[in-house]
Structure 1
Amino acid sequence: MKTEIDKRCQNEYNALREVMVCPPTHMKIGKIINETQKHFSDENIDTNIAMKQHQAFVDVLKKHGATIVEITPEPQMNEQVFTRDIGFCIGENIFIANMARKIREPETEVLKHTLKEKGDSYTELDVFSIEGGDVIVDNKYVWVGISERTTHEAVEVLREFVTDREVIPVPIKKDILHLDCAFNIIGDKQALIYPQAFTSEDLEKINSLYDLIIIPDEEQFTLGTNVFSIGDKKVISLPENKKVNRAIEQRGFEVIEVDFSEIIKSGGSFRCCTFPLVRE
C-alpha cells in the first residue's frame, strides 16, 4: 500500500489534499521585480482587499477537501503570498527552490522551518537558480521553463534527482516571469498556453501532447494561464478571463471564479499562490 508521502504530487490536476499558502499580510510593491509590478507601482496593493480575496480563495480550497498549511508571514517579506516559487513537489519529493532575486531568498528559510515542523523531508537545490513557477509536473514529464528565474544549469542538477521522468527544458520569452504564466496543465492531455512565449519548435512539441486552449493577448495580462486545478475537473480562475473560462468549460471542466484582482497586481495569480504538497 502506498503511504501518503508516496502519493505527493504526480501531476498538476489530481485531487488536491494538502497545500501550502501564505496570507498577503505584508504584501506590497516595494522593489519592482517584474513587469506587472511596474504597471501597478503607483497604485500599489490594498492589503485589506488582498487579505479578503486570499481568504476567499483559501475557503474554496477547504470547501473542496484540501488541508491548508499556512506559512507565517514576515513583515520584511512582501512576496510571501507566492508560495509556488519557493519550492515544488515532483512525485514523492519536495524540493527547495534557489531564488533568483536576493530579496526573496529568506522565504526559503521560512519554508524549511515550516516543513521541519511538519516532519516533512526535503531536498535543497543549491545551483543558481530555479523557481517553482517554472516547474510543471505531468506524470512522466517534468516541464521546466528556462527564464529570468531558472537556468539551464539548474535543470541539469534537477535531472540528477529526477531519474524516473523526462525533464524537458522550455525556454520562454524574456518578458514572461515564469513558465506557469504562459503554460499550465489542467487535466489529462488538457493545457492552457500563450503561444507567443515559445519557440515554434517547442510549441509544436507541446501541441503534439496536449489539447491546447489558446490564451488571447488581453487575458495574458490578467494571467489567464495561471489557474489552479483542484481535481475532479474543477479549475479556479479569475472572473475577468471570460474567454479562457468559456473555453475551459467547453472541455467539460467546472470553472470556479474567485476575485483575485488585488493580488495579481504583483504578478501572480492562483497557481502562484499555492504550493501543493499532496494530491491523490
Structure 2
Amino acid sequence: MIEVKVDNEYSALKSVILGLAEDMGDPPKVFDVYDPRSLYHIKNNSYPNQDDVKLEVESFYEILKKHNVNVLRPSNIQNCNQIFARDLGFSISNIFFQSNIVPNREEELVGISDIINALDAGVVKLPDYMHIEGGDVIAHNEKLFIGTYSGEDYSELITARTNQESIKYLEKMIPSKNIKSINIKKSNTDVFENVLHLDCCFQPIGERKALICPDSFVDKSDVDYLISYFGEKNTYIAYGQEAYMLISNILVISPEVIVSDKRFKKMNTWLEKNGFLVEKISYQNVSKMSGLLRCSTLPLLRE
C-alpha cells in the first residue's frame, strides 16, 4: 500500500506522482484547446514537440531521484498528454481527493487508477457538479488556500476549473482546516488575463515564505491578505514577464531544496539568498502548455 500524508507544500517530499510525456499524440487543433497559452502557441507554430517535452520531464525525474524521492508514474495512454498530474487529485492530511476535471482530460485519470487503488488512505470523489482541480488546492498546515472563480460567466469559461460548491463541500469534509478561497482571473482567449490555477500565481515555500504574482488576482484584498500573512520581506513578488512565465509554479522538495526553471534568474537568486539550494532545470517547453513543475507533480507523502 502507498502511504498518504500531505499537510503543506514544503515538508520533505517522500512520494510523488510525476507526469508522463511518452505518447502525447499530435498537437491539438485550435478547437480542441482548453487554455489560452496553448492556443497562442498553436496559432504561432511554437507548440512544443514530444521529444523536447519528454527530455524536460525526465530531467525533472532525475532531480527527484537525486533527492531520494519515491517517484511513481502514470500508466501510458496512447495519444494523451499526461504531463500535468497535479490536477488529477490532491492529498489533504491522510485523505486523497480525486478531482472532477474538465471532460477533455478525464482519460488522464485512467492512467493513475492503479496508483489510486493502492493508496493506504481514504479516497474521496466529489459529486459530479462540484468542479475542482489539484492546481487550485494549496495546503498550508491548518490553512487551505483554494483558487476559484465566482463570476456569473463561470459556465462559459473552460479555464474556470474550481467552483464554490466544491469549496463548501471541503469545508464540511475537513472542518479542521481553515479554508481561504481566492478569486483568480479567467479568460478563454487572452493569455495575459488568464490564470489557469492558483499555483500559477501563488505558492508557499515555507511556513512564512511565499511567491506571489499580484496582477493575477481578481481582488486586491486577497493579495494584501497573503502579503500580510507571510510578511512582505518573506514574499517574492513578481509582475509582468516574470508572472507571465509562471514563476510561482516551482516545486519544493524540502525546507532546504527547491526545483526551479533556469530562466527564473532573479527569483532563483532571491531563493538562494534566503538559504535554499535551487536545482535549476529547463522547463520552457512544458510551460507552453500552461504548467510547470508543481503542475507536473502530485505529492502523496511529505514528512
User: Considering the TM-score relative to the shorter chain, is it more than 0.5?
Assistant: yes
The aligned residue for residue 69 of structure 2 is 66
Distance in 2, Cα, partners of 1:157 & 1:59: 38
Q: By how many angstroms is 1:216 displaced?
A: 2.7
Q: Write the mapping of 1:93-172 to structure 2, written as runs, cut at 5 A.
A: 93-99=95-101, 101-117=102-118, 120-126=121-127, 127-147=129-149, 148-172=160-184
Distance in 2, Cα, partners of 1:108 & 1:254: 33
The aligned residue for residue 41 of structure 2 is 40
- Aligned match of 2:213 in 194, 210, 217? 194
The aligned residue for residue 209 of structure 1 is 229
Contact 1:12 1:136 in 2 (8 A): yes
Per-residue CA distance 1:131-174 (angstroms, 9 max, x = gap): 00000000000000004110011100111211111011100111
Change (3 A) 1:9 1:267: same
Contact 1:22 1:72 in 2 (8 A): no
Contact 1:238 1:258 in 2 (8 A): yes
Contact 1:29 1:266 in 2 (8 A): no
Per-residue CA distance 1:72-104 (angstroms, 9 max, x = gap): 1212422x11000010011111100011x2111
Partner SS state of residue 181, structure 2: strand
Distance in 1, Cα, partners of 2:255 & 2:180: 27
Distance in 2, Cα, partners of 1:186 & 1:208: 16
Distance in 2, Cα, partners of 1:116 & 1:74: 18
Task: State the TM-score, normalizing by the size of structure 1.
Answer: 0.93
Match status 1:13 vs 2:10: yes
> Which region of structure 1 is more displaced relative to structure 2, 56-65 or 213-222?
213-222
Q: By how many angstroms is 1:118 displaced?
A: 5.1
Amino acid of the residue matched to residue 173 of structure 1? K
Match status 1:246 vs 2:269: yes
The aligned residue for residue 262 of structure 1 is 285
> Which region of structure 1 is more displaced relative to structure 2, 15-24 or 121-130?
121-130
* Percent identity between the two aligned chains: 29
Contact 2:75 2:112 in 1 (8 A): no
Task: State the TM-score, normalizing by the size of structure 2.
Answer: 0.86
Distance in 2, Cα, partners of 1:170 & 1:29: 32
Partner SS state of residue 284, structure 2: coil
Q: By how many angstroms is 1:120 displaced?
A: 5.0
Amino acid of the residue matched to residue 182 of structure 1? C
Per-residue CA distance 1:28-84 (angstroms, 9 max, x = gap): 541211121012112222111211111110110011010011111212422x11000
Per-residue CA distance 1:98-131 (angstroms, 9 max, x = gap): 11x2111222243333221455541111233100
Partner SS state of residue 244, structure 1: helix
Distance in 1, Cα, partners of 2:123 & 2:244: 34
Contact 2:95 2:121 in 1 (8 A): no
Distance in 2, Cα, partners of 1:29 & 1:12: 32
